[in-house]
Amino acid sequence: MPPPPAVLTAAATRLRRTLLEWYDRAKRTLPWRATPGVAADPWAVLVSEIMLQQTTVATVQARFDPFLARFPTPAAMAEAALDDVLHAWQGLGYYRRARGLHACARTIVHGHAGQVPDESEALAKLPGIGPYTAAAVAAIAFGQQVVPVDGNVARVLARLIAHDRPLSATKAELWPYAAALAGGDRPGDLAQALMELGALVCTPRQPACGICPWAFACRARAEGRATALPVKVAKRSRPERRAVAMLIRDDRGRLCLRRRPEDGLLGGLIELPAVDPGELPPGDWQALPGTVRHVFTHFSLETTVVTGRPVEALGDAFFHPADRLHELALPTLTRKLLRHAGVAA
Ligand code: SF4
């Protein structure tokens, strides 16, 4: 049984001090982190936290500054068309977040006079903002005494207290432990330090307990179970699906494209028309050699590209100049398919 959260409260001062000392020595310089002594920009913190939810630090690092330069304030994003936001989001994946961020910017402008709210309860009511992001922004941008629990932090806490049930169903049970750690005069740094500890030291497969500032208190380490925790659940294998994408050009060489439905996978993005194998409409199709494989969260997709024209025009499609594809928000899969067909995208 893990200890009650009160055990952490008793050790909290030492845990905070050792963690912050380590953070001051070891933290990475990242574009969204405020320079020491400079107040963090709440909008920049909010954008970075949303980007980092499902995208690696390396990918976000390359895209954060240009994105923020394009949308430096909630007002700048609220004025922009959703297509512009989706376009700027390219390469970050999980476009639902970009749509949520756009709606969030509009709510901040219309409901909060353009200022990011400074309370985690108000933040959590914004579109696209869950409890984790609300707590992260409240702590990092506004110095509130909250410790957000993301995947990295959950892993560290689970090991610290030897929580021995799968996190998928029990992550919420770690929030009281995180709350027990809150306090001190650097709540924003504490939140970031804990995330950084999970990213750099208490990593999923090879926790570096030998250099960990929390080794003195860690139950998983004391019990020799650091790599065994958090408890893993057997992963279900990803189903394999197949599709056929159609590369159709009109007489002017323009490419036939379509917009995906707003709700659902890659909602609102532009793609090559595609169908299940066996549902290809009549036409003079030629299959290109090879296939394109793409892995989504819940399935893998193997796509064959055919060129030609259908006998009847496709209902929901439009034609766009092939040399102006950079104007469109294209998901990674569509870019792969176009490259496979020799079209620069
Ligand atoms: S001692 Fe090891 S398992 Fe425990 S928090 Fe540190 S790195 Fe993680």
For the stretch 114-147, pLDDT in tens is 999 998 889 999 999 999 999 999 999 999 999 9
With beta carbons less than 8 A apart as the criterion, state whether 331 and 269 touch.
yes
Residue extent(s) of CATH 3.90.79.10 domains in the chain: 240-340
Architecture per CATH, 5-149+172-198: Orthogonal Bundle (1.10)
User: What pLDDT score does 13 carry?
Assistant: 94
Distance 166 CA to ligand 1 centre (A): 18
Which residue, 109, 120, 105, is CA-closest to 67? 105
User: What pLDDT score does 329 carry?
Assistant: 84
Which residue, 122, 135, 137, 330, is CA-closest to 245? 330
- Establish whether residue 97 lines the binding site of ligand 1, counting it when its CB lies within 6 angstroms of any ligand atom: no
Here the tokens at position 131 are 């409890």
Here the tokens at position 177 are 């432990």
Angstrom CA distances, 224 to 86, 102, 127, 251, stand at: 46, 46, 42, 68
- Ligand 1 atom nearest the C-alpha of 218 is 4
With beta carbons less than 8 A apart as the criterion, state whether 188 and 229 touch.
no
With beta carbons less than 8 A apart as the criterion, state whether 320 and 292 touch.
no
Three-class DSSP category at 311: coil
Q: Whose CA is nearest to atom 4 of ligand 1?
A: 218
Q: Which of 21, 49, 79, 223 is catalytic?
A: 49
- Ligand 1 atom nearest the C-alpha of 209 is 2
Here the tokens at position 325 are 């594809």
In CATH, what number does 240-340 get?
A: 3.90.79.10
Q: Which pTM does this prediction carry?
A: 0.77
- Establish whether residue 218 lines the binding site of ligand 1, counting it when its CB lies within 6 angstroms of any ligand atom: yes
User: What pLDDT score does 248 carry?
Assistant: 96
With beta carbons less than 8 A apart as the criterion, state whether 288 and 272 touch.
no
- Establish whether residue 207 lines the binding site of ligand 1, counting it when its CB lies within 6 angstroms of any ligand atom: yes
Please tell me what DSSP assigns to residue 301.
E
Residue extent(s) of CATH 1.10.340.30 domains in the chain: 5-149+172-198
Q: Has 119 been annotated as catalytic?
A: no
Distance 22 CA to ligand 1 centre (A): 13
- Establish whether residue 209 lines the binding site of ligand 1, counting it when its CB lies within 6 angstroms of any ligand atom: yes
Distance 218 CA to ligand 1 centre (A): 6
User: What pLDDT score does 169 carry?
Assistant: 82
- Establish whether residue 201 lines the binding site of ligand 1, counting it when its CB lies within 6 angstroms of any ligand atom: yes
* Residue at token pair 């950079």: 326
- Establish whether residue 194 lines the binding site of ligand 1, counting it when its CB lies within 6 angstroms of any ligand atom: no
pLDDT tens track of the chain, all 345 residues?
677 777 787 899 999 999 999 999 999 999 999 887 788 999 999 999 999 988 899 999 999 999 999 999 999 999 999 999 999 999 898 888 999 999 999 999 999 999 999 988 899 999 999 999 999 999 999 999 999 999 999 999 999 999 988 988 888 899 999 999 999 999 999 999 999 999 999 999 999 999 999 999 999 999 999 999 999 887 777 899 999 999 999 999 999 999 988 777 777 789 999 999 989 998 999 999 999 999 988 899 999 999 999 989 888 899 999 999 988 888 889 999 999 999 877
Here the tokens at position 98 are 């970009």
Angstrom CA distances, 234 to 160, 180, 228, 231, 271, stand at: 23, 31, 13, 10, 34
